[in-house]
Amino acid sequence: MDKDLDKLKEDKEFLKELEEKRDEALKKGDIVLLYDVLDTYLLLDRDDDIDTIYQKILEIAFDRLADMLTKGEVFNLSNEEDLQVARAIYEHALERWNRNDFKGSNELFLILSYIILDEKIQEGMFLALGATAKKISLDEFINSFIDVKNLDENSLFFDRFTKKAKDFLEDEKDLINKELKKIQKIAKGAK
């Protein structure tokens, strides 16, 4: 595979097509296409335009999220656009958490737990919600609660958990329910 990647890095036609795809994705504001370009750039270890692409992804995702919240919609994760919007919000929440912005990441996990109805992913949001409320670092969270060995390399969300994670969800259910009640306050404030 490394040989194939090396060939792609040198393939002028492929790189030209990739640039055209990037330009089209940025112009259209197509989050699915933008993530496709971003993932390709990351795979090829290309740093150029990554920040621009990612900022556009976040802009689109947060605009879509605001629209969804206003309309009372939830994510349909079988829809590729919804999946990529959820991914962008989730990745941003993880970035904030990694910078020890527990409040900001907690609020994003709260919103995601409310508008993602997939049980396994929602369980991960509840787990992250409790962990950020307790100010557990992201590294500690991953080491203690995520079954890293069984994560699907294509998974966009943490969705494989350890026994310790299940125990945490049970032990901290009152805290998690308290956190979940914040959504009612947010909803009342939005009216």
Rg (Cα) of the chain, in Å, rounded? Answer: 18
93 by Cβ neighbours in 10 Å (0-12 / 13-18 / 19+) ranks as buried
Contact call for residues 24 and 37 (beta carbons, < 8 A)? no
Residue 186 is predicted with a pLDDT of 61
Residue 183 is predicted with a pLDDT of 80
Nearest to 134 by CA among 92, 95, 171: 171
Q: What residue has token string 């079988």?
A: 78
Q: How many helices (H) and strands (E) does the chain have?
A: 11, 0
Q: Which residues of the chain have pLDDT under 70?
A: 1-2, 185-191
74-92 pLDDT tens trace: 999 999 999 999 999 999 9
CB atoms within 10 A of CB 105: 23
Q: Return the sign of the alpha-carbon dihedral for residues 137, 140, 142, 145.
A: negative
Residue 191 is predicted with a pLDDT of 46
Q: What residue has token string 């979940």?
A: 180
State the DSSP string of 66-127. HHHHHHT----TTSHHHHHHHHHHHHHHHHHHHTT-HHHHHHHHHHHHHH---HHHHHHHHH
Angle separating helix axes 138-145 and 119-133, nearest 10 degrees: 130
